[in-house]
Amino acid sequence: MDGVSTPPRVVARRMAAPDVDRVVAIEAAAFTSPWRADTFLTLLERPGAELWVLDDPDEGVVGYAVVWCILDQGELANIAVVDTHRGRGYGTYLLTRVIDIARERGVEALYLEVRVSNTGAAELYRRFGFEQVGVRRNYYDAPREDAVVMVLRMS
């Protein structure tokens, strides 16, 4: 997406083990079925996983994203920004960064699932060129809800 600038003072960098407690807190606030710390720690060791954080020099980690990259396909597994930083370009910046990373790793199609009710996130993804390609019935728990499957074709 052209014209995306870095939010003031924030730095995108690879997630490290000391970041995991903060990432888990962001995850718990953003999702009804959050991943646990051991999930993130295990993923840090996987060659196909890209885990990135947004680091604010005053506030620490304020967002994160997890992308799997396997051969020419990828999946945006999780992305979240703390409530206080939403609507200020942080999510857009982070999504731009992980799309660039996937592209650098040779990904030609990047997939994701998003709750049917999460219209704000779905609209953000559409602005980046993601298209709906399916629906996974009853994909989410707490509450039970369908997922819209979207793909960004990068080739």
Residue 19, CA distances (Å) to 7, 52, 72 in order: 20, 10, 29
Q: Which DSSP letter does residue 7 get?
A: P
Residues with catalytic annotation? 113, 125
Q: What is the b/e burial string over 19-40, where b = at least 16 CB atoms within 10 angstroms of the residue's CB? A: bbebbbebbeebeeeebeeeeb
Cβ atoms within 10 Å of 8's Cβ, excluding its own: 8
